[in-house]
Structure 1
Amino acid sequence: MSSKPSPSNSSRFEGCTLTGALSVLTEVRDAVCIVHGPAGCTHHNFSLLHATLLSNGRVEVPRLLSTRLTENGIIFGGEEALEKTITRALSLSPTPASVFVLSTCIVETIGDDVAAVCAKERSIPVIAVPTAGFLGGVFETGIRNALSSVASLARPGGEATLSANLVGEKNLEYGVDENAAEIARLLSRLGIGVNLRFVREIGTRDIERLGSAAVNILREPALRPVGEDLKRRLGTPYVDSFPAGLTGTCRFLEDVGRICGIDASAAVEEERAYQAAMLARFAGIAGSRVHFQSPHPMLKTDPGAEAICTECAEALDLAVVPDGAAIPLPYPAPVGTAGLRRMLHRWRVLIREKRRQPA
């Protein structure tokens, strides 16, 4: 059994555009990703992705190929190397159902026409994904570009079902599957199922049904451009964030219900009762003194994290004071009621440790 990393150090929030895109595209299980650039770009990302998969109990090897550009390719152009690598990808066993070609900074600098090479007629889709971070992109830019590129495989005009797509899950995030399970639990209160996790552990053919959901649920507001893109392509409305906080979780149910034409009042009341029962399990820390702080000076915090923590502190009658137990602000914010329960378990440990310290 593998041990999972702690929430404080397991998520990647900034960094290379290429890495962000690969965190999405390698979750298309029957695809191959070609990194068009020097071998080091592929090696670095392979190591990161493989280590992250192992730390989460997934014994898998990302299917990555590199065009392995050298000085000669950089001087004279790398399109021929890309053609050869695509041919190699198509000859792999098992044969991939799709190929994604990711450009690196050096390739964009020398001006290779990656899109034109990928657009040639082939037996399977070969899709160019812009991932050159030197043009101003960061990790999340890669995620957005990858999601929009994968969406080109969807079939527009499919029959809509009372279901939802989870869009843009953070695949390198601690607890990603737990968060998806919480969304599924909340949706079940409305009688709505999950159509597709876009993109996590799916196949190329699965993407065809992307347009059949009644609503897209974005992982975070930064993905609104993707939500608008999918709405334009497929006509699917979206909720712009996973639920966060006690009130926010109930509001999420109301928002999804409104989009799907469902009266969410009963579901909201059920969830409020569920939350009350959850909070009752932490009655032992009522009246404790706490204060909230960034987990590390180099880590950013979720803009709404302090409000969510304050809401939970008020619900548990905790006093927020400078000399209270130090509570790290979560990033990203915990998802739904289940996420709050896990957060409060950590609070209880920290509060008890503070109580044991000599006065």
Structure 2
Amino acid sequence: MVGIANESVVFFGHLSELYQLAKEGKIETKLQGSHTRPCKFWTAMKILSGIKNTVVIAHGPSGCAFGVKQAYKLTNCRNSGSPYESIITTNIDEKAIVYGGEKELQGAIFEVDNKYKPDIIFVATSCATGIIGDYVDAIVNKVKPKINAEIMAIHCEGFAGEYRSGFDLVFRQIVQLMDKPDPESKSKLAKSVNIVGGKMGPERTEIETDVKELRRLIESMGASINAVIAGSCSLEKMKQAPSVAVNCTLCLDMGYAIGREMLDRFGTPLNSTILPCGISATEKWLRGAARHLHLETEAEELIKREYEAISVEFEEAKKCLAGKLAIVEGHDAIKSLSIAHMLERDFGMRVAIYNFHPWSTQARETSIDYLLETGLDPEILITKGTLAFGKYEAMVQTENELMEYLGDLDPETTVYFGSSMSFPNIPVVDLNSILNRPRFGYRGALKVAKCVCTALEYSFRPRSWVMKKMVFSENSGLCSAQSLTPKLAQDLPDCTFYAGKERGKCMTS
């Protein structure tokens, strides 16, 4: 299968082998300096921005708040009907860095409470205020009796942990806002579940999202969703969250932190599986929830109904896909592992994951353990471009290595699951560009199967050479799928065009 030259290969084998090498320190698991990830501050803000009627005070320079506002306001406001963009800044300057920013913080808390009247105010520390050691906890405790909102300090300065720690910190800390279950609350929510590990804020109103599909399946089983934590969940729903029958993880890695904390503190049961991509993962997710809801019979009836609704088209598609080779782009470890699970278990395809960074063996340990324990051990290929300077997701070197790897593989029997900004000589399926979602559940499995079949059917059609030249233009330096795509998606024209001679020229001129 592999036609790639030996000098380009860093690792080729199975996931279990890579995992063992990483544990033994025999393969480098650190990210290169150019392979930047969000800091702890960013990921903490991502979760906090998903809680309804909340204002987050970013205690630090204005630039810290600007970045996360730009990143999250699309999800939290523009497409989901949130009343206001929920992050402000204390905007501390050089003087505050020397003498402390407690005065600015206290003033901001009172202003937010009076002006916006939120249910909760979160005070999030930035690197600057973490380094100078502002007495954030003391200020929060001092103002607590004087304001109407609940208030909580979140110590998430970016230098104090890698990006994953921001998710885990906030998920564990917001458990402090929850009420201990009592017989009355448990009886009221005996047929309810929480979906935990959501980190994208409110659901978009115009799209049938994956979370909406999970909600539909739970409700079709005869239960209800109390809260998606933290995806547009209110303080009231969060307070009663420990009383539900079970917490179901959305993402196993992200959901496990809060699910485990609620299990230890309140005894709330935890249904922990990988992303419910495909039929087998969805059924495991549903059966796990049903066991705690005491709706096993209803779950089996639902599973039967849902499969019957897609069975004719799905089985037809499956005939087309069984035995085909699927190459899955591996830079998003959670998605690539979940996709690999679906393709092998549901579609009967052979799976190889391309450029699964060794760093992910530590960052995604929970999901890898789960997959290996369920008997899935996909092939992994890592090339030198993954470990080179630059954006390893889609740079010229990794693109060339991909082409070398594919060699003369038959485009009628091989599919590449990755960014549509990649240009291999085989059909490409970009699951992130499927707008007629969901991608989860039975309907999602059928949509993905149809996409793959369509890609194979039209494998004879060449990709756009014009777009490829835009993405991988000669001497462009910064040009990559990750850098170019957001530019093309902006509402307003960007006067920086990543394409050699066009640099500095407005795209619309």
TM-score by length of 1: 0.82
Per the alignment, in what secondary structure is the counterpart of residue 313 of structure 1? coil
Instruction: State the partner residue of 1:271.
Output: 303
> Shift of the alpha carbon at 1:232?
2.6
Q: Which aligned pairs between 1:236-255 and structure 2 lie closer than 5 A?
A: 236-241=268-273, 242-255=275-288
Per the alignment, in what secondary structure is the counterpart of residue 458 of structure 2? helix
Partner amino acid, structure 1, of 2:252: P
> Shift of the alpha carbon at 1:335?
2.6
> Shift of the alpha carbon at 1:141?
2.7
**Residue 170 of structure 2, aligned match among 143, 146, 149:** 146
- Tell me how far apart the structure 1 counterparts of residues 262 and 223 of structure 2 sit (CA, whole Å): 20
Q: Tell which deviates more after alignment, 16-25 or 66-75.
A: 16-25
Instruction: State the partner residue of 2:56.
Output: 33
Instruction: State the partner residue of 2:443.
Output: 338
Instruction: State the partner residue of 2:339.
Output: 305
Distance 1:193 1:308, change over 3 A: same
> Shift of the alpha carbon at 1:226?
1.3
Q: Which aligned pairs between 1:215-254 and structure 2 lie closer than 5 A?
A: 215-222=246-253, 223-241=255-273, 242-254=275-287
Q: Deviations over 1:4-25 (max 9, x none)?
A: xxxxxxxxx9513222222222
- Tell me how far apart the structure 2 counterparts of residues 125 and 54 of structure 1 sit (CA, whole Å): 22
Count of residue pairs brought into register by the alignment: 339
Q: Deviations over 1:10-53 (max 9, x none)?
A: xxx95132222222222333221100111001111111112345
Per the alignment, in what secondary structure is the counterpart of residue 46 of structure 1? helix
Instruction: State the partner residue of 1:106.
Output: 128
Partner amino acid, structure 2, of 1:239: N
**Residue 327 of structure 1, aligned match among 411, 416, 421:** 416
Per the alignment, in what secondary structure is the counterpart of residue 58 of structure 2? strand
Distance 1:177 1:198, change over 3 A: farther
**Residue 46 of structure 2, aligned match among 6, 10, 23:** 23
**Residue 216 of structure 2, aligned match among 171, 185, 188:** 185
- 8 Å Cα contact 1:290-1:351 kept in structure 2: no
**Residue 83 of structure 1, aligned match among 106, 117, 125:** 106
RMSD of equivalent CA atoms: 3.2
Distance 1:64 1:353, change over 3 A: same
Q: Deviations over 1:137-168 (max 9, x none)?
A: 30x43233223333322221241122101112
Q: Which aligned pairs between 1:160-175 and structure 2 lie closer than 5 A?
A: 160=186, 161=189, 162-171=191-200
- Tell me how far apart the structure 2 counterparts of residues 305 and 244 of structure 1 sit (CA, whole Å): 7
Q: Deviations over 1:106-141 (max 9, x none)?
A: 222222232222122333311011222312230x43
Distance 1:192 1:284, change over 3 A: closer
Distance 1:310 1:284, change over 3 A: closer
Find out whether 1:135 has 2:127 as its counterpart.
no
- 8 Å Cα contact 2:259-2:270 kept in structure 1: yes
Structure 1 residue ranges without an equivalent (≥5): 1-12
- Tell me how far apart the structure 1 counterparts of residues 324 and 88 of structure 2 sit (CA, whole Å): 50
- 8 Å Cα contact 2:75-2:203 kept in structure 1: no
Partner amino acid, structure 2, of 1:278: I
Q: Tell which deviates more after alignment, 241-250 or 175-184.
A: 175-184
- Tell me how far apart the structure 2 counterparts of residues 339 and 293 of structure 1 sit (CA, whole Å): 20
- Tell me how far apart the structure 1 counterparts of residues 82 and 201 of structure 2 sit (CA, whole Å): 15
Distance 1:319 1:119, change over 3 A: closer
- Tell me how far apart the structure 2 counterparts of residues 311 and 261 of structure 1 sit (CA, whole Å): 27
Instruction: State the partner residue of 2:245.
Output: 214
> Shift of the alpha carbon at 1:310?
1.7
- 8 Å Cα contact 1:169-1:199 kept in structure 2: yes
- Tell me how far apart the structure 1 counterparts of residues 224 and 252 of structure 2 sit (CA, whole Å): 22
Instruction: State the partner residue of 1:291.
Output: 325
Instruction: State the partner residue of 1:10.
Output: none
Structure 2 residue ranges without an equivalent (≥5): 1-35, 353-408, 419-429, 433-437, 463-509
Q: Deviations over 1:192-244 (max 9, x none)?
A: 11112222223333322222211111222213221121123332111123533
- 8 Å Cα contact 1:157-1:211 kept in structure 2: yes
